[in-house]
Amino acid sequence: MPPSLAGRPLLLGLAGLVFVAALSLGPVLDALGAQDDIALARERLARAQAASAGPPSVPPLSAMDEAGLVAAFRARLDALAAERVAVVDGAGLQPDPARPTLPRLTASLRGSAEGLHGLLQALETGSPLIVPEEAEIGIERPADPEIGRATVMRLTLTVRGVLLPAPAVRTTP
């Protein structure tokens, strides 16, 4: 056999081995990719389980329309003021053109420093969740120790409410 023909079976065998290795490399790479996907899915599952094990989130103050939002805000303030030394003088709504679904709600309250502080704390921790955007407190009437009159404070409060979208109307064909 000539020397050039003697090496052909070896080259053919090596080419076959390279071909088989290339074919088997695809499934190996797929398996490694699947292993990464499984690890990522396990991480997401662990985060979801940790989130579900925590305390439930408190829903924000919300209503379907502006009048309902002001009424819900006023009712919440009245309920909290009744438990404390505080009085709600008024509550209103200021539309925000930049954020139409998050209008500003304003309120004016009077009471003792402790009563107003407790009311603010209850707003921020109770349900529905109401987080003050602005709060200004000042003295409405100073104390008069001669007649035993306590200091009356005024709180002007601005918070955000949430206007919920109208439910979709279903039509049956």
> Are 118 and 155 contacting, i.e. CB atoms less than 8 angstroms apart?
no
Residues 6+ apart with CB under 8 A from 86: 80, 109, 110, 111, 112, 115, 116, 119
Q: Which amino acid is at 59?
A: P
Full-model pTM:
0.62
Backbone angles phi, psi at 100, to 5 degrees: -65, -25
CA-to-CA distance for 80 and 61, rounded, in angstroms?
Answer: 14
User: What distance in Å separates the CA atoms of residue 110 and residue 85, rounded to the nearest whole number?
Assistant: 9
Cα 71 versus chain centre, distance: 23
Q: What is the pLDDT of residue 34?
A: 86
- Please give the pLDDT value at position 171: 64
Residue owning tokens 């420093």: 113
pLDDT single digits (tens) 5-32: 666 777 777 888 888 777 777 787 788 8
What are the pLDDT digits (tens) for 57-102?
777 888 888 899 999 999 999 999 999 989 999 999 998 888 888 8
Both tokens of residue 64? 């379907």
Which tops the pLDDT comparison, 75 or 144?
75
d(CA 79, CA 59): 18
